[in-house]
Structure formats: structure tokens, C-alpha cells
Structure 1
Amino acid sequence: MSRRPAWWSWLAALQGLLLAGLLAGVLASAPARAQPVELRDDRGATLRLAAPPQRIVSLLPSFTESLCALGACGRLVGVDRYSDWPASVRSLPQLGGLEDANIERTVALRPDVVVAARSARVTERLEALGMTVLVLDSDTHADVQRSLLLLARLLGTPERGVALWQQLQREIGEAAARVPPRYRGSAVYFEVESSPYAAGAASFIGQTLQQLGLGNIVPAALGPFPKLNPEFVVRAQPALVMAVQHELAGMAARPGWAGMAALRQGQVCGFERPRYEVLVRPGPRMGEAARLVVDCLVALPAGGGRP
């Protein structure tokens, strides 16, 4: 029998060590993924699952986006009708909205968990049919942070929630550094619906504006998204007006609104629908939302800003 060279034994030993390390890593990570999940949602209800869910239904666009940003797009089996980002979710079964989610189709998808907003009307009915429902709030930055952390724990990857929230804070901080000095402290009217409903200082939108160094005509005491008397907006004389573009184009025609200096002087940010959706969804694209606001401010004509 021929003798093998000395280096052969060394190579075999090294391969053995590498293989042992690889197997140890697999064995160490597998139990972690299979560990039971126990969470308390924003209702205070406790959810228990034998393992991280592999089949998930999301009934709000921001939750869909958050799940995908946390690496779980492949676990989604159904979404609400408004979920459209990332593009891959558009091919999933659409199950309605907050007011009219399709219960039968949802149950037929056999989800391990349904993620829903507190305002969704179907939660109790789904639970009565044996579904596990995780209910989350998303009005404020604190809500968004908590939702990301809870969803990451639900998926068995808690570290991803921490990293994603830190990334969002970095992105907002980078956007804030680009705000033109003339707009520091300027009061904003941010319209979320033409009734009009506004994003107040207490909302996640208002809190992003605050981090950018901007003000808000709607005090926190009025709640996150209050319905306003149109005269309130006119009297407040915001230095900046922000809204979806097709509503912004007709604002001056509203009774009394033609007298608003911001509209006359072009101190407005009108966002086409896809970009506006980024701004009004409380989730992993809030850093992008901050950049969109600042991009608009940078492009506005000189002479605007706080009175």
C-alpha cells in the first residue's frame, strides 16, 4: 500500500473540522427556528405558536411591507387589496380591506397567523373560527418600532427587527441633515384626506416631520389623524402644505383657501400617488418618506419657510 504524503492527513483533518463546524451551526440554529413563539399584541392578548409561522396573512399594507423587509415575503399566502410593495406581493390572493376582509378566503388559505390592525372588523370572527390573529397599532413611531420588533420575534429573527429600526432612524437622520435652514421650525399642514383629515404632531408622519426639524399646525392634543374644520387650516396659515398631488391642485378652489400664503407662493409639496403611499404607510419605508419630503423642500422656490 502506498503511503500518503503528510499534507494529506493535515487536509483531511481540516476538512473534518470544517464539516463539524458546519453541522454544529446547523444543529444550533435549527432548534432556535423551531422554538415556540409567545407574544403579547397591542390589544394585550397573548399569542402562542408551537413554532414561527410559515403561512402568514397580512391585512394592512404597512404590515405586508414590514414582513417583507424582515425577510418573510416568502411566508405570505394572502394580503389585503392595497398591499402593492414589494412587487412580488401583487400576485398573492387579495382578501379585501379593513372594512370588508373576506373571511372565507382567509380561512381557506390556512394561515398560521393573521396580522391585522386594531381597526380591522374581522378579528373576533377570525378568532372564533380558530384563527390566530396578531393585532398591531401603527399610529406613532413607537407603534412602528414595537410592531417591527414583535413581527421579527414572530418570525423567529428578533435581531432583524432591531437592525431595521436602527436603519430607519439613520435614514431619517440623514434626511434631516439636508433640510434647508429656512424651513427649520416651519409649520406644516399634511393632508391625509380631503374632508379634511390631517396628520397631526402625534402621528408617525408628524413625528417624522419633527425629526426633520419641521413643525405642525395640528397639536398633539388633537390626536394622530384628526378631522379638521377647513377654517382651522386657513386660520393656521401653514408655511408649507403637503398632500397627494391631485388634491393639492384643487386646494385653492376650496372656500377661503385661496387666501393661504403657502398656496399663493408655491410653498407646497404635491406627491404623485405611488410616492404619497410611501409617506402614509408606517413601516420600513419611513426613511424613504423622509427623503421624499426633503427632496421637495430642496426644490421649492426661495422665500418660503417659517413666518
Structure 2
Amino acid sequence: MLKHLFLSLLLACTLPARAIDIRDDLGHTTTLAAPPQRIVSLLPSLTETVCELGACARLVGVDRYSNFPASVNALPKLGGMDDTNVELIASLKPDVVFVAVSSRVADRLRGLGMKVIALEPRSYRDVQRVLDTIGLALGVPDAQRVWRYIEAGVAAAAASVPAQARGLRVYYEVAPGLYAAGTVSFMGETLTRLGAGNIIPPDLGPFPKINPEFVVKANPALIMVGARGAQGLTERPGWHSIDAVRRGRICIFKPEEGDILARPGPRMAEAAQIMAKCLREKAAP
């Protein structure tokens, strides 16, 4: 009996790992013979997801904007959207490369024989789905534990928002040039979960470029903006009449807060806490 048990264990150890087919957001199917041990990530939210799922040690290179957790700063930086260093990526011999859907080098990487998975979460549902996809690729069971943590954190943030802040109409400028967080973006969804309003209608999409006169007419009661975008905001033509400007209801986020807020991934609960803090402070009488 012990001999049969030994032979069974030996056979199990020598059998090849079961291949996994991963379908990405562009409809490409990538077959992984085994969970990848050398990973390149070219999008900060995907980098953070890989690390949150316990695979940070498998990363061998990241894009220049990936800066969390701190350990990824020691990895080779592979450029950005417009200057990705394909030759350096190839030299790292990755088992898989995670890229954004909008990546301009995905086809070139595939042409060099690399396995590429394109993912780009833009909504809460996307984040939940991407967690499952990356978890499957990494061979990590129960990737949804991260989603449960996010959900619990967002719910706690919502519970901290006082009644007088609920329904407050918000304009959230996510990037210079008047790019706004739309209702259907993950940032807009967080605002909704916190009980705030949004001056951007759903039909404008997730991150529309807004005419400054649109904001004046919408007259938000609160403005959220990053430090870089805040320069000269109150001097924009006509903006002195906006309720948020007149009453000083402007939250200016620090760069490190901006990173958390802008990345649809494991730190979305922290992003909700940052927004909730803004709502609590600016809605106070």
C-alpha cells in the first residue's frame, strides 16, 4: 500500500502543470503552461494587483509610473506609454507581460514571442473581473478576497460621510485640461457610493474633457482636484461665481493621494477614505 502511495505521489510531482487559457480585454487568448514566475507589468494598477495577490517577488520589471508597493521601485523601469523599452523587456525573459488595453507595444511584444495579457479596469465591475483574471493567470486561489476587502473599505468610508454631505454636487477634475471623473468611471462610482452627486452626466463617458463653461453652469458645491491641476483654478474665467469657489469648498489632493485615487485596484478602499475625508471636511458648517 505504501509502495502504491509513493508511486502516486511521484507521478503527481512529475506530471506537467495543467495549461491555463487566459482571455484578455482585447479578446486575445493566451495559454500559460504554468503560473508565470517572471512577470512584467506595464500599468500601475496591474502592478499593485499582482503584488496584492502575493506575487510581487515574481515581478522582474515595471513601467515608470508603478511605485507601489515600495519594493517595485528597485525593479528595472521600462518606460511609459510612448517610450516603452521593448528591448529591455525582451532581455528580462518574462513568462508574461501585463499591459494596458491602450498599450502601443502589445503587438510588437507578441511578435517577439512574448505572452501578453491586456487588461484595463475602468469600473468597479472591471476591477473585480481583472482580479479574477490575474488570479487565474498567477495560479492564486480566491483572488476575490481582495475585492471583499475593497467592498468593506468603501462601505466603511460611506458610513463615515455625514448626512449634510450626502447629495453634495461634485466636480472632480482628474487631470489638467479639464478632464473629469464621469459618473460611469470607477472614481465616479466611488463618489456615488459615498452618497455624493456628480455634475458629469453618464452619457459623457468615464473621463470626458469638459468645457470650462459647462462647470460654471453646473455650479458644483464641491471641487476635487490634484495639486498640479489646482494651479490657477480659481482664476479661470467665470469660476469665481461657482458655489464651491465662493465657499472655499475645494479639496486639493497631494501627489501620493492622487496615485491612490487614480488607480483602479487594491487601494480603492483607501481612495474612498480620501474622498470621504474631503466630503466630511468641506461639508462642515
TM-score of the superposed pair, with normalisation by structure 1: 0.86
Pick the aligned partner of 1:45 from 7, 17, 28: 28
State yes or no: 1:191 paired with 2:173. Answer: yes
CA contact (8 A) 2:172 2:225 kept: yes
CA contact (8 A) 2:97 2:117 kept: yes
State yes or no: 1:170 paired with 2:152. Answer: yes
Pick the aligned partner of 2:223 from 241, 253, 275: 241
CA contact (8 A) 1:37 1:50 kept: yes
Rounded to whole Å, the distance in 2 between the matches of 1:29 and 1:292 is: 49
Task: Report the equivalent of 1:228.
Answer: 210
Rounded to whole Å, the distance in 2 between the matches of 1:134 and 1:36 is: 15
Secondary structure at the counterpart of residue 47 of structure 2: helix
CA contact (8 A) 2:157 2:272 kept: yes
Q: Specify whether residues 246 and 42 from structure 1 end up closer, same or farther in structure 2 by C-alpha distance, changes over 3 A only.
A: closer
**What is the aligned-residue RMSD (CA, Å)?**
2.0
CA contact (8 A) 2:165 2:280 kept: no
Pick the aligned partner of 1:97 from 80, 100, 115: 80
Rounded to whole Å, the distance in 1 between the matches of 2:40 and 2:128 is: 20
CA contact (8 A) 1:32 1:156 kept: no
Rounded to whole Å, the distance in 1 between the matches of 2:10 and 2:246 is: 66
When Rg is computed on C-alpha atoms for both structures, the one with the higher figure is 1
Rounded to whole Å, the distance in 2 between the matches of 1:158 and 1:213 is: 33
Secondary structure at the counterpart of residue 148 of structure 1: helix
Structure 1 range deviating more: 33-42 or 202-211: 33-42
Q: Specify whether residues 265 and 155 from structure 1 end up closer, same or farther in structure 2 by C-alpha distance, changes over 3 A only.
A: same
Pick the aligned partner of 2:18 from 32, 35, 38: 35
Rounded to whole Å, the distance in 1 between the matches of 2:65 and 2:234 is: 30
State yes or no: 1:84 paired with 2:60. Answer: no
Secondary structure at the counterpart of residue 300 of structure 1: helix
Q: Specify whether residues 245 and 53 from structure 1 end up closer, same or farther in structure 2 by C-alpha distance, changes over 3 A only.
A: same
Q: Specify whether residues 122 and 33 from structure 1 end up closer, same or farther in structure 2 by C-alpha distance, changes over 3 A only.
A: same
Partner letter of residue 173 of structure 1? A
Deviations, residues 24-79 of structure 1 (Å, cap 9, x unaligned): xx999979994322111111111101100000000011110110001010000000
Task: Report the equivalent of 2:133.
Answer: 150
Report the count of equivalent residues.
278
Q: How does 1:253-268 map to 2 (within 5 A)?
A: 253-268=235-250
Rounded to whole Å, the distance in 1 between the matches of 2:15 and 2:167 is: 47
State yes or no: 1:271 paired with 2:271. Answer: no
CA contact (8 A) 1:189 1:217 kept: yes
Q: Specify whether residues 36 and 267 from structure 1 end up closer, same or farther in structure 2 by C-alpha distance, changes over 3 A only.
A: same
CA contact (8 A) 2:165 2:283 kept: no
Task: Report the equivalent of 1:18.
Answer: none
Q: How does 1:196-211 map to 2 (within 5 A)?
A: 196-211=178-193
Q: Specify whether residues 37 and 30 from structure 1 end up closer, same or farther in structure 2 by C-alpha distance, changes over 3 A only.
A: farther
Rounded to whole Å, the distance in 2 between the matches of 1:298 and 1:143 is: 28
Task: Report the equivalent of 2:102.
Answer: 119
Deviations, residues 242-293 of structure 1 (Å, cap 9, x unaligned): 0113432521111211211101212121111001110011100000000111
Structure 1 range deviating more: 37-46 or 113-122: 37-46
Rounded to whole Å, the distance in 2 between the matches of 1:50 and 1:154 is: 10
CA contact (8 A) 2:121 2:130 kept: yes
Rounded to whole Å, the distance in 2 between the matches of 1:113 and 1:292 is: 34
Q: Specify whether residues 230 and 184 from structure 1 end up closer, same or farther in structure 2 by C-alpha distance, changes over 3 A only.
A: same
Deviations, residues 120-172 of structure 1 (Å, cap 9, x unaligned): 1000110111111100121111111111110011110131x111011100100
CA contact (8 A) 2:174 2:225 kept: yes
CA contact (8 A) 1:240 1:267 kept: yes
CA contact (8 A) 2:20 2:34 kept: yes
Partner letter of residue 239 of structure 1? A
* Structure 2: tracts of 5 or more residues without a match: 1-5
Task: Report the equivalent of 1:70.
Answer: 53
Rounded to whole Å, the distance in 1 between the matches of 2:97 and 2:283 is: 47
Q: Specify whether residues 30 and 163 from structure 1 end up closer, same or farther in structure 2 by C-alpha distance, changes over 3 A only.
A: farther
Partner letter of residue 254 of structure 2? E
Rounded to whole Å, the distance in 1 between the matches of 2:106 and 2:186 is: 24
Task: Report the equivalent of 2:3.
Answer: none
